[in-house]
Structure 1
Amino acid sequence: MDMDEKDVIESTEEESFAELFEKSNSESTRLRPGSKVEGKVLKIGADWVFLDIGKKGEGVMERKELLDSEGNLTVAEGDTITAWFVGNIRSEMRFTTKMTGGAAANAQLEEAYRSGIPVEGYVVKEIKGGFEVKVGGSRAFCPFSQISLRRAENPAEFVGKNLLFRVAEYGERGRNIVLSHRQILEEEQRAKREALKETLKEGMTVSGTVTRLADFGAFVDLNGVDGLIPISEVGWTRVKHVRDVLSVGDQVSVVIKKIDWESGKISLSLKDTLADPWSTVAEQFPEGSYHTGTVARLAAFGAFVTLASGIDGLLHISKLGKGKRINHPSDVLKEGDTVEVKIDGVDRESRRLSLALAEVSRAAEEEAKSVASFRQQTTSDSKESMGSFGDLLKAKMEEKG
Structure 2
Amino acid sequence: MVEKMNEDVHEMKVFSVGDVLKGKVTKVEDKQVFVDVGFKVDGIVPVSELSSLHVEKASDVVALDDELTLFVTKVTDDELILSKKEALAKEAWKRLAQSFERGEIIEAPVAEVVKGGLVVDVGVRGFIPASLVERHYVDDFSDYKGKTLRLKVVEMEQEKNKLILSQRAVLDEEMEEKKKDILKSLQPGDVVTGTVQRLTSFGAFVDVGGVDGLVHISQIAHERVESPRDVLSEGQTLQVKVLSVDPDSERVSLSIKETLAGPWEKVASTFQIGDVVTGTVKRLVSFGAFVEVAPGVEGLVHISQISHQHIGVPQEVLEEGQEVQVKVLDVNGAEKRISLSIREASNDQEDMSQFKAYEEKRTDDASGFSLGDMIGDQLKKYRDE
Indicate the TM-score class for this superposition, using the shorter chain for normalisation: 0.3 to 0.5
Instruction: Tell me the TM-score normalised to structure 2 length.
Output: 0.47
**TM-score, length-normalised on structure 1?**
0.45
State the structure with more CA Rg. Answer: 2
